Amino acid sequence: MKPTSSSPRPASPFRRRRILWTITLLTAGVFFYLFNYSETFSWSLPSSLKDASGQRRIRVQEIHGLLHFVTSYPDKRLDEDDGSIQVAGLGTVKVDPSETVDLRVFTPDGDDNWENHLKTLRTKYPLVVFSKTYCPYSRRAKALLESYQIKPAPFVVEIDTRSDGPIIQKLLGRLTGRSTVPNVLVKAQSIGGSDDVHSLHDKNTLKDLLLESGLEVHGI
């Protein structure tokens, strides 16, 4: 009797194609998730990933636009021109905070280099506090954050001193799910108000959260 070979049967072409398709689909799925849902990935796409115009495809969210507006245009208001704002390329725009706002509104001078804008938000304004000067809860939250001696220091927006304060507050309600002040944002994500920040402090997790977000903490 002829001995039976112990060599494995070579994979069929159909099986090889099925394996290759599975790997391809899994890889495509991973890139789709990262591009659409990962903040870090969308902010640091390699230069090889460009659209037809040669620009990097950067995912900018409305909250980034609002943060850029309040940090980069301290003298401008969303209602400065009889309840509207003059925007390069759009003309006179009346902002409805209950509706999605065109990102160009947040760059009224026409500077739409969002790659630079996002970089500035990450490096210079990673911590933004929306507050009201007379609010005891706002004062309490700001005092706690000040005791941490954070660098860069929190950028505070006193919305009661702005004519467009009500618009900003409604925008924050829609974009962050929090319509009251204070509203503390770290890397464009709301971590809550005074009670929330103090709760993180009491649990000894606030410092770690700040450090993990790239801020320096020299106090407490």
Same domain for 47 and 155?
no
> Phi and psi for 151 in degrees, rounded to 5?
-130, 130
Residue 14, in any domain of the structure: no
Same domain for 128 and 144?
yes
Residue 11, in any domain of the structure: no
Same domain for 84 and 26?
no
Identify the pLDDT of residue 213: 96
pLDDT along the chain (220 residues), means of 10: 52 64 62 45 35 62 98 98 96 98 98 97 98 98 98 98 98 97 98 98 98 95
User: Distance between alpha carbon 117 and the CA centroid of its chain, in Å?
Assistant: 11
Measure CA of the first residue to CA of the last residue in the chain; give whole Å: 84
Residue 12, in any domain of the structure: no
Same domain for 112 and 28?
no
Same domain for 50 and 145?
no
Residue 6, in any domain of the structure: no
Q: Give the C-alpha separation, 21 to 165, whole Å.
A: 53
Residue 148, in any domain of the structure: yes
Same domain for 32 and 105?
no
Same domain for 86 and 180?
yes
Q: pTM above the 0.85 mark?
A: no
Same domain for 97 and 174?
yes
Same domain for 210 and 139?
yes
Same domain for 52 and 74?
no
b/e map 126-139, b = 16+ CB within 10 Å: bbbbbbbeebebbe
Q: Which residue has the tokens 């040669």?
A: 54
Q: Give the C-alpha separation, 171 to 175, whole Å.
A: 6
Is the Cβ–Cβ distance between 77 and 164 less than 8 Å? yes
Identify the pLDDT of residue 220: 84
Domain count of the fold of the chain: 2
- Beta strand extents in the chain (DSSP E only): 85-87, 91-93, 127-131, 150-151, 155-158, 183-186, 189-192, 216-217
Is the Cβ–Cβ distance between 187 and 125 less than 8 Å? no
Question: What CATH number is associated with residue 93?
Answer: 3.40.30.10
Residue 210, in any domain of the structure: yes
Structural domain ending residue among the three candidates 59, 80, 110: 59
Calculate the CA dihedral of residues 58, 59, 63, 69 and round it to 10 degrees. Answer: 20
Q: Which residue has the tokens 């969210």?
A: 61
Identify the pLDDT of residue 58: 76
> What domain range includes position 151?
62-217
